[in-house]
Structures are given as structure tokens and as C-alpha cells.
Structure 1
Amino acid sequence: MIQNDMSRRRLLGLGLGIGAAASLTLAGCGGGDSTSGPAAGNGGKEYTGPKVDLKLWNGFTGGDGDIFKALVNQFNTEHKNIAVSVATYQWEDYYNKLPGAASSGNGPDIAVMHMDQLATFAARGVITELDDVAKNLELSEGDFAPTVWKGGIYNNKRYGIPLDMHPLGFYYNKAVMQKAGLDPNKPPTTKDEYTSALVELKKAGVQGFWVSPFQFTGGMTFYSLLNQWGATLFDAEVAKATFNSDPAIEACTWLVDMIKQGYSPANVGQDADYLSFKSGKNAFTWNGIWQINDLKKSPEVQWGVAPLPQIGSKPAAWANSHNFTIVKQRANDANKVSGAKVFINWLSQHSLDWAKGGQIPARKEVREGAEFKALPEISSLAPELEYAAFPPAAPGLGEVMTTFYNSFNEAALGKKTPKQALDDGVSKANRQLEDNRKKYGS
């Protein structure tokens, strides 16, 4: 198993168990400040108080972790009165550990958190509001991609300051395309072009697009296609699941037909789609932006990357985002909170180096700068920000998303028709959503 891919799968495939862990209500959090008088800070612009030691938790276990730690070290060098120490855990362990640690007073001051986890931890009082940070730093939607900025809001209050966005990208093997007589510098961008390319690849004895039945990456591919067809996973209130609509079934059927028509083998194993791409056995794979750096380590592979082809009626791509949050403590230290806000602002402004780890910066000024554009592969996926399909802000959604991905799994493996698989999934998802309303009081 590729280490980078392993860490990313842990990073993104959170689903089971997290909602239960995060449902622990932090009755002891949000207590009185241990400092007297106003804090020596102004919402993140600067900190002039006594030295504070801050604990920061994250789940960057791959190569991105080294880049992140280097940035923290740079911050510490430039800020003599703030010392940030980093603790790194596997993401699934991290999310399960965080509520209890915060409740007992042993949690971090700062926590990196995915967009789809913010609502759960905000609903249970694990993280604190950051509206004053946005206000004092004069940050607004115009400074970020709108979808990323709105993703940090739950119940009309901000809980996360976005750092980046990581979408699916379209990877194409140039050598395999040439073998089939295709132009290796013109990857398909439409449904007709995609189908035509697969036909030519099949003639050359290549199954060009391996469809994984697993969340990584077939489920996320279906998530993208569902949105391309104009369907939604849930209604506007996230009260009912809607991923069995006619457009959703059509999107699922198109993907499953890739297997039936012989463009993909059946029963593709976990990660086999990506590994076969690297070994020249298939031409196209839809995978995360994080694979760019892994492919750069394999000079024998002739590859390119581009935004996802538009197969449906509009462009769309699965995506998630890292956000900075501040964790509530039993007795909050106002100076620590002020120092934490300075760190969040600083790292957000210095996200170009973070982009080199395989991320698209959330900050518009960084994303539009010449240095970011000089990262050709990563910057090539930046246009997807405008139509990225992010998960909605609803507490306890992890288990529901697992049901969605499991539904696709059953369809891709031929256990059920796409309609039956999605109908059954929606029935289960609606029960889970009802349970979440009872659990989270919303």
C-alpha cells in the first residue's frame, strides 16, 4: 500500500464511529477564563501578552506532515511569545480522542478539522466560535472561494477558518493513451470524448477506466457524477436523503455500465484502480489531488492531471477542506486563545508552502499569485474550487455518508441494481438522519 494514499484515506474516510465519539457532550467546557483582565490580543492581528504554550493536534501522517511541522517551526521562530507544539495522530483516532481529551482538560488548544466534521464538534461544544477572528482580520467570502468559506459556518456562526481545499482530479496515463492512438496531450473533457477514448482503448486491449466499488475512489467518483447530473445527496435542510432521485440513479447507472460494457474489470480491489494506472494497465483514474506528489516520485510514469471531465449536465467534483478550529477548555486561558488566533491567521497567510504538499490554498490572494501558478499540476485543479461539491454542514453526518458509499458499493459489485441499492440506502440514511436530530437536538 502506498503510504501517501494510506494517510489520505485515513484523512478522508472518517465515517464510522466519529459521530458516536463526538456525541459526548462537554459539560465542563467553556468555563471561566483563568486569566484576569482582557487578553493581550486583538482577534488574530497580533499578540503582545506573556509567553503562551499552545498544543496543536492534526492528522497529517504522510509527507504533508513534514511540511506542516516546518511551517509551525517557522511561526515559532518569528513569534517569541507563542510556542506551538504539534501532536499528530491517525485521523480516525484523532476524532475519537478529541472530545474526551477536551472534556478532561487534556485537549489541544488548536485543532485541524475537516469541513464535514465542524458541525458535529460545534453541536457538542467541543470547538468555539471564531466570528471575531473573521471580523477583526477583515476576512470575508471575497478572500476565499465561496464554497470553502461557507463550509466553516454552522447555525449561522463561524467555527472554522479554512486553510485549503482538496478535490478529486482526473489523471491520465499518456503512454497508455498513445498505445491506443489517442493524443496524450488532449485528455477527454466531455461525455462523448470520454466514451470515444474508452472505445479506442478497448480496441487496443486496455480497460481504460477501472471503477472501484470502494469509497476510495469509486464512491467519491459517484459523488462527483451525482452532482454533475444535478442531483443532491440531501434536501436543503439535510432532513431527508435524496440520493435515489432519477438523476442520481442515472449517474450511478452510467458508472456501473462502465463495468458491464467492459471498460472496467469487475470487483476492482481497494487501490487497484490507482496501482494499475501507475503500472500502465489503465489510462484514466479519478483520484485525489494528494496523488500528485506520489506520481512525481515515479519518473517512469508518463502522466498528466486535469479537472474532472464533465460527464453530466454541469461540472462538479468531490472535495473537502481543512479548517483551523480552537478547542474549548474547562478553564479557557484568554491569552492562549489570543495566541491561537494569531497562529491561525499566520498559517492561513503562509499557505503557499502548504500547497506544495498537495493542497489548493483557500486564500484567494495566495491561489491567484504567481508562485502558486508555478506549481502546474496542483494549480491545474484550482478551477474546481468554483464548482466543488462539499458535504453539507450537519452534525453526525459521517455515518450517513458511509451509508451512501455502501449503497454505491452494492451497485458497483452487482449485488443490487443501481435503483434498488440507492433506494435501500436512502431508507437507512433517513433513519440515521432522524436519529441525529434526536441526538443533536436539531
Structure 2
Amino acid sequence: MLKKRFFASFLLLILLLSLTLNVAAKTKISFWHNWSGEGVKAIDSIVNQFEKVYPDIDVEVILTTKIEQKLLVSIAGGAAPDVVLFDRYKTGQFAARGALTELDKFIENSSIKSEDFFNAAWGETIYRGKIYSIPYYVDNRALLYNKKLFEEAGLDPNDPPETWDELIEYSKKLTKYDDEGRITQVGFVPIWDWASLVHYIWQSGGTVFNDDMTKVVFNNEIGVNALQWIVDFIDMCGGVDELISFSSGFGAQINNPFYIGQVAMQSNGPWIYRDIERYAPGFLKNDLRIAPLPKNTEHATIAGGFSLIIPKGAPEPEAAWKFIQYLVQKESQIEWAFASGTIPALKAAAYSDQIMRDDFWEAFVKNMEYGKYRPVHPAFPEVESYIYQAVDKAVYHKMTSKEALDWAAERAQVILDQHNLKIINN
């Protein structure tokens, strides 16, 4: 009897040890993101599904604010997370600082292919010939306009402006004034919302840097003409001060000037969907229309979005890579898109029936055809800040368009040279 009890206890001990070893054998990875709202629920759902497929991996989801600063601190302190949802626009900056893991070796042995993603998204993951992230979602800027206001102005809402010249003519017809000559409704303002001089340079066939990114070229004839077009457009509206006076009465949320008809056309992106759905569902259903941004010589729009990265020094890069692959498969991409109000970076998901059956999302998915990515260079964010300052100087008539862009180019070239020297030395 004693032997039987001993044997049973021994078997129980073996079983407990086995269970303990199985638990201990699990790999734990951390996933940082800064999303909120319905997107959080989608992330939790996708993580739960992943853990069922990979029961040997536990994912700790961590909502993290100020990700960029904390990421650098965590890497320096030897406590990097395994996967981060990261602004793809910053790829060049962080790759140049050695903060990101090269993913080429992982991609070579996986089913992930560059052609499965939007070109503008994939191109932004590459720095100096190496891939540092996998696109998760994309966005772009389009021309959003009010069907009702078009009809009131005698314009065909099915025939939006295609060119810069047409945009000017449409804007004139859509702008209204009171008896004192004050604007009560504006057609379009080229520097409001998510518009950028970079857009207009691209739409004229120009670029910010030369091909090898050793020289800034945004102050050439193409850039100067693009900025002058903006200045002339603003002056046509009555100047910056008049537009500031008009916009001082703008409300927010339910009283957003675009929703209530104070602004007829604007440059904006798909992120606006949730707000319109919440505060102006009637406008979304009946009067909102979307078209590509008008062109000078070609259609072009900034395509942004976020990617998934494995930081340098991540404790479990192999498990992290499995998680990334799961996040960018078609089903996961569609689930995330619906919850977060974003466009999947995977083309098979973006062009799926679930996404394309909605007019709003169909328009933005199709607009990715014209998407371009900003230069993947650590100097670009600083260079872009000088471009914005140049626009301000020109529209306020503190400098001519040529003077403003030359002023910006002189300073931007110094920044570019400094970064390129660091690259050479490294």
C-alpha cells in the first residue's frame, strides 16, 4: 500500500514538473502601440487568435505614449520591446541611429513579398538598401468635397476638378462673401488641413532632393512655381489675414466647417472617417465625395501610415517575426482596418470585397495609385520643417517665393550635408 502511494505521488510530481516545464518553455514578447478606441479591441482580438495558433508564445500588449522617445531609451537601457507599431515616416531617422533590426534575412525565408504591399508603403521601409519594417497600414491625401455645395454653385459633383486650373475655377464659384466682402464660404485653401508644398512639387513633376539625396532641389523652378501658385491662390481668397479671420469662427466636432458647409473642398485623409461617422453621419451618407488631388502635370499624394518594427536588441526576434507575419496576413489586416478606420497595407486585404464595398474606403484605396513616399533619409523631417517655414514667409509676403525657398534650401542643405557625413563615417 505504501509503495502504491509512493508511486502515485511520484507520478503526480512528474506531471507537475512537466506542466511547469511547459509553462516555462513559453516565449514571451512585448508589443508596443499607441492606438486607442476600437483599434485596441482589434489588437487584443488578433493577439488572442495568434496565441491560439502559436500556444508557445505569449504576447504582452503595452499601450505606450511617446513611443519614439521611450523606444530610444529602452534600447539604450537594454530593455527594448520585441515589436513596435511605428510611424513609417521615421524609418530613415531611426535606422540611421542603429535603432532598428534589419529584416532582410527574415523576409528571405518567409512568404512576405514586396509586391504584395502598396509600393509607396514598401518603399518607405527601405533605408540604404536594407528593409527595416513591414507595412501595417497606409493612408493618403485626397480631395474631399461637398456634393450639395457643388450643385448649389452649378457644378457637376460627378466631375470634380482634375487640374490646378480647374481647382481655381471651382474654388471661385464655391466661395461666397457677405455684404461687407467678408468670406462666408470658401471653396478651397491650399495650405489648410493636410496639404503640403511637397504635394504641389510632386504634382508638378519635381522632387525635394536629387536622386542620390546629396542636394536639396526644392528651390528650383518647379518648386518656386508651385509655391507661387499657393501664394496666388491665397491672395485670390483675400490673403492670409482674411482667411484667419474667417477661420476664427470655426467650430469643432459637430460644427466642423467642412461638415456644415463653410468649406466646400479640402485636402484630407481616411483618418477623418471616424469623426464624420460620429458627428455628421448624414453628410457622410449623402454629400461627401472624394477624388484624387488635382494635378499640375501629374497626380500625386503623400502616402503615409505605420509599420511593424523589431527594435535593435529585441529579446525574442524570432518570435517577434512570427507575430509580425500574423499581423500582416489578410484576415488580420481586414479585422484591424474595420476597427481602426485605416487602409490595410496588404493589397489583397485593401482590395477585398469587405473594404471595397464602401464608397469612402474604395476611393482612398484607389487613390493609393498616386501615392508617393517622402524621402527615407534621416535629414528629411528637419528639411521639411524649413519647407513649411518657407511657405509661411511667402504667403505672408515677408519674402518672395524664390527668396523663401532659397532661404530654406540654404539651411536644409547644411542639415543634409551633416547627416550624409555621419552616414559616410559610419
> Which interval holds the TM-score relative to the shorter structure?
0.7 to 0.9
Give the SS at the match of 2:98: coil
In structure 2, how many angstroms separate the alpha carbons of the residues matched to 1:407 and 1:150? 27
Unaligned runs of 5+ in 2: 1-23, 178-183
Q: CA deviation at 1:196?
A: 2.6
Give the equivalent residue in structure 2 for 1:313.
297
Unaligned runs of 5+ in 1: 1-48
In structure 2, how many angstroms separate the alpha carbons of the residues matched to 1:271 and 1:194? 25
- Residue 206 of structure 1 aligns to which amino acid in structure 2? Q
Give the equivalent residue in structure 2 for 1:266.
243
Give the equivalent residue in structure 2 for 1:163.
136
Q: Which segment drifts farther, 138-147 or 227-236?
A: 138-147
Alignment of 1:299 with 2:299, yes or no, is no
Give the equivalent residue in structure 2 for 1:82.
57
Give the equivalent residue in structure 1 for 2:323.
343
Give the equivalent residue in structure 2 for 1:3.
none
In structure 2, how many angstroms separate the alpha carbons of the residues matched to 1:362 and 1:152? 12
Identical columns (%): 27
Do 1:67 and 1:353's aligned partners in 2 also have CA atoms closer than 8 Å?
yes
Rate the CA distance shift 1:133–1:385 in 2: closer, same or farther, 3 A: farther
Listed as ranges, the matches of 1:93-242 within 5 Å are 93-202=66-175, 206-212=185-191, 216-218=193-195, 220=196, 222-242=197-217
- Residue 311 of structure 1 aligns to which amino acid in structure 2? K
Give the equivalent residue in structure 2 for 1:282.
263
Do 1:198 and 1:207's aligned partners in 2 also have CA atoms closer than 8 Å?
yes
State the superposition RMSD in angstroms: 2.6
Do 1:198 and 1:263's aligned partners in 2 also have CA atoms closer than 8 Å?
no
Do 1:316 and 1:384's aligned partners in 2 also have CA atoms closer than 8 Å?
no
Give the equivalent residue in structure 2 for 1:25.
none
In structure 1, how many angstroms separate the alpha carbons of the residues matched to 2:57 and 2:306? 23
- Residue 386 of structure 2 aligns to which amino acid in structure 1? T
Rate the CA distance shift 1:309–1:246 in 2: closer, same or farther, 3 A: same
The C-alpha deviation readout for 1:229-256, integer Å capped at 9, x for no partner, is: 0111111122221111111111122222
Give the equivalent residue in structure 2 for 1:416.
399
Give the SS at the match of 2:268: strand
Alignment of 1:248 with 2:223, yes or no, is yes
Larger radius of gyration: 2
Give the SS at the match of 1:278: coil
Q: CA deviation at 1:323?
A: 1.3
Q: CA deviation at 1:354?
A: 2.3
Do 2:146 and 2:289's aligned partners in 1 also have CA atoms closer than 8 Å?
no
In structure 1, how many angstroms separate the alpha carbons of the residues matched to 2:248 and 2:319? 43
In structure 2, how many angstroms separate the alpha carbons of the residues matched to 1:270 and 1:372? 37
Give the equivalent residue in structure 2 for 1:8.
none
Give the SS at the match of 1:96: helix
In structure 2, how many angstroms separate the alpha carbons of the residues matched to 1:160 and 1:273? 39
Q: CA deviation at 1:96?
A: 1.6
Q: CA deviation at 1:432?
A: 0.9
Q: CA deviation at 1:378?
A: 1.6
Q: Give 1 or 2: higher helix fraction.
A: 2
TM-score of the superposed pair, with normalisation by structure 2? 0.82
TM-score of the superposed pair, with normalisation by structure 1? 0.79
The C-alpha deviation readout for 1:95-124, integer Å capped at 9, x for no partner, is: 122111112122211112222211222222
Rate the CA distance shift 1:126–1:342 in 2: closer, same or farther, 3 A: same
Q: CA deviation at 1:65?
A: 4.3
Give the equivalent residue in structure 2 for 1:13.
none
In structure 1, how many angstroms separate the alpha carbons of the residues matched to 2:227 and 2:264? 21
